[in-house]
């Protein structure tokens, strides 16, 4: 393994092939900045050992604690070429099996005249007959992902235009640029808008097969709820829950509507239990339909996130495939970003489907790993490498990236591409960071030598360190391997930092 520094461990395919069922690793906490050795888990139960696999029995986990489960993330937007390769080779059979494959990708970036993100613009991809192919809303970075086709067996008409609607503004992009050739950038003459509401729904498989991990997951979800509130005390955070099982169980779905009462949300999650199921597949499509179409999502919220926590795919037939496609399209149109979080038991077919759900809705894919020692075996995802993190850190990081919205004054400052910052050790530091937003390369120019700069995510996790920045020389920083979101380019200043915010779009 290679040390990923503050961003955790980077696991490569070669490492995976040599890895035993449990590998004791050091996992970095982005909240505390300290590492914790995952060598044992305090659960009130003695681990049971089977060969070299260390796991915890499914019963007696009522004292499960947060900060135990380990996880990784794959954002296929940031590994787009790899995803296309995987779906024509290793995962090809699964997109035929589900009759679902995102293709003909178009990315749109919508900003106002001073460079601020335009959130909740309605963006419509149309064919040459002016029929809608796909509809999405711009996210907290002003970005929308559009797809000319979701079904591999159907050849859609060629995308011919993109229409953008926001308040009284209308903009038409004729002959839009496919993602492989660039991003479609638009500026609208509108004021800054900073929506304050954030809506997060947890959709959780509560069948019996989740019994090996569900109490730990509940502890992690409850911990994350309070962490996000502490990180964003001024936001109107609202949570909803949908727990689901399968046909023939004592319920199909059990829901709690959006509320800003954290205590009610935590209490509701805490009282749920895993039971029922029986066969492998579960009623995932029913749960998604309930969450996307029947929860009261707000049209002008800043961010809408749906965490789909599960260990098995849905049943598979043409009606279920149609239901899944309908839910994906509705989620994208409402601006609901699906973030699957898969537990032990998921197979490759389920992995493919979940990653497709994430792509279709501008989300990302997360998965539990064996490193915590909790639960049954977790499959390795199809990718080149990933980083192991504590699950609650990973979820908080994803939420921070999906929630953060630069203030209007910050956008104005970035548009001008200069910032004059006074500090005790320098009378004046003038630096430029451009382009912003960027799809990968960022140029940095300072007027005097800087000892070191850091690239960080919004949780404060250091991703890169750049030493000895020479004055009046343009230095390039490549962010293309990172997930879309907000990043900080920061300089230490005593006990504080001076920073520039950079928006990365994919």
Set out the domains of the chain in order of their start, with CATH numbers. 417-504 (2.60.40.3080)
Beta strands across the sheet bearing 2-3 = 2-3, 9-12, 385-390, 70-74, 365-368, 336-342, 303-310, 197-205, 236-244, 253-259
Q: Which two tokens stand for residue 27?
A: 């996992």
One pLDDT digit (tens) per residue for the chain, 506 residues: 333 333 345 555 455 444 443 333 333 333 333 333 332 222 223 233 323 333 343 334 456 889 999 999 999 988 888 999 999 888 889 988 999 999 999 999 898 988 888 999 999 999 999 999 999 999 998 999 999 999 876 666 789 999 999 999 999 999 999 988 888 989 999 998 889 999 999 999 999 999 989 999 999 999 999 999 998 999 999 999 999 999 989 999 999 999 999 999 999 999 999 888 778 889 999 999 999 999 999 999 999 999 999 999 999 999 999 999 999 999 999 999 999 999 999 999 999 999 999 999 999 999 999 999 999 999 999 999 888 999 999 999 899 889 988 766 555 555 444 333 333 343 345 778 888 878 788 888 888 888 888 888 775 667 888 887 888 888 888 887 777 778 888 887 665 677 888 888 76
Non-local (6+) Cβ contacts of 359 within 8 A are: 76, 77, 83, 102, 145
pLDDT score, position 63: 67
Q: Which two tokens stand for residue 233?
A: 């005390």
Q: Which residue has the tokens 């790899």?
A: 82
> Which H helix or E strand runs over 52?
none
Q: Distance between CA 132 and CA 161 in Å, rounded?
A: 10
pLDDT score, position 165: 98
pLDDT score, position 445: 86
Q: Distance between CA 436 and CA 445 in Å, rounded?
A: 14
pLDDT score, position 466: 83
Asked if residue 368 lies in contact with residue 378, where contact means CB atoms within 8 angstroms, the answer is yes
Q: Distance between CA 466 and CA 455 in Å, rounded?
A: 8
Model-level pTM? 0.79
Q: Which two tokens stand for residue 443?
A: 């140029």
Q: Which residue has the tokens 């689901």?
A: 244
Q: Which two tokens stand for residue 261?
A: 């009462």
| DSSP labels, 269-288 | HHT-------SS-B-HHHHH
Non-local (6+) Cβ contacts of 64 within 8 A are: 43, 215, 216, 218, 219
CA angle 463, 72, 2 (to 5 degrees): 55
pLDDT score, position 496: 63
Asked if residue 272 lies in contact with residue 218, where contact means CB atoms within 8 angstroms, the answer is yes
Q: Distance between CA 267 and CA 272 in Å, rounded?
A: 9
Strand duo 53-55 + 184-188: pairing: unpaired
């Amino acid at each position: 393994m290679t040390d990923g520094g503050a961003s955790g461990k980077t696991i490569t395919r070669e490492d995976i092939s040599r890895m035993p069922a449990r590998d004791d690793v050091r996992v970095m906490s982005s909240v505390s900045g300290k590492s914790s050795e995952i060598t044992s888990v305090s659960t009130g139960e003695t681990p049971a050992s089977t060969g070299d696999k260390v796991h915890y029995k499914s019963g007696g986990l009522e004292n499960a604690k947060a900060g135990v489960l380990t996880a990784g993330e794959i954002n296929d937007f940031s590994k787009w070429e790899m995803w296309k390769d995987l779906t024509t080779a290793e995962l090809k059979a699964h997109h035929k099996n589900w009759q679902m494959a995102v293709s003909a990708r178009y990315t749109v970036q919508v900003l106002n005249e001073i460079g601020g993100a335009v959130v909740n613009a309605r963006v419509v991809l149309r064919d040459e007959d002016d029929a809608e192919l796909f509809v999405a809303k711009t996210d907290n970075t002003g970005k929308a992902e559009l797809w000319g086709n979701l079904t591999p067996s159907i050849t859609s008409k060629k995308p011919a235009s993109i229409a953008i609607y926001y308040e009284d503004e209308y903009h038409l992009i004729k002959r839009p640029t496919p993602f492989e050739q660039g991003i479609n950038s638009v500026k609208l003459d509108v004021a800054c808008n900073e929506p304050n509401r954030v809506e997060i729904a947890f959709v959780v498989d509560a069948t019996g097969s989740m019994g090996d991990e569900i109490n730990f997951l509940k502890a992690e979800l409850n911990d994350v709820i309070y962490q996000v509130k502490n990180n964003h005390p001024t936001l109107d955070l609202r949570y909803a829950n949908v727990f689901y099982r399968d046909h023939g169980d004592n319920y199909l779905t059990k829901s709690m509507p959006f509320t800003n009462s954290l205590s009610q949300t935590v209490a509701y999650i805490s009282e749920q239990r895993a039971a029922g199921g029986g066969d492998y597949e579960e009623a995932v499509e029913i749960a998604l339909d309930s969450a996307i179409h029947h929860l009261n999502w707000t049209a002008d919220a800043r961010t809408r996130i749906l965490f789909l926590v599960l260990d098995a795919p849905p049943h598979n037939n043409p009606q279920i495939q149609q239901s899944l496609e309908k839910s994906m399209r509705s989620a994208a149109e409402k601006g609901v970003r699906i973030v699957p979080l898969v537990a032990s038991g998921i197979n490759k077919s389920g992995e493919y489907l979940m990653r497709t759900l994430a792509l279709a809705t501008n989300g990302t894919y997360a998965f539990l790993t064996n490193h915590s020692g909790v639960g049954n075996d977790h499959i390795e995802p199809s990718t080149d490498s990933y980083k192991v993190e504590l699950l609650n850190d990973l979820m908080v990081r994803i939420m921070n990236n999906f929630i953060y919205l630069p203030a209007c004054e910050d956008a104005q400052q970035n548009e001008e591409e200069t910032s004059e910052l006074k500090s005790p050790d320098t009378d004046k530091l003038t630096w430029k960071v451009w382009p912003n937003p960027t799809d990968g390369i960022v140029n940095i120019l300072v007027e005097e030598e800087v000892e070191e700069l850091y690239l960080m995510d919004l949780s404060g996790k250091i991703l890169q360190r750049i030493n000895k920045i020479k004055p009046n020389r343009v230095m390039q920083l490549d962010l293309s391997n990172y997930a879309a979101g907000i990043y900080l380019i920061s300089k230490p200043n005593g006990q504080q930092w001076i920073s520039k915010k950079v928006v990365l779009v994919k």
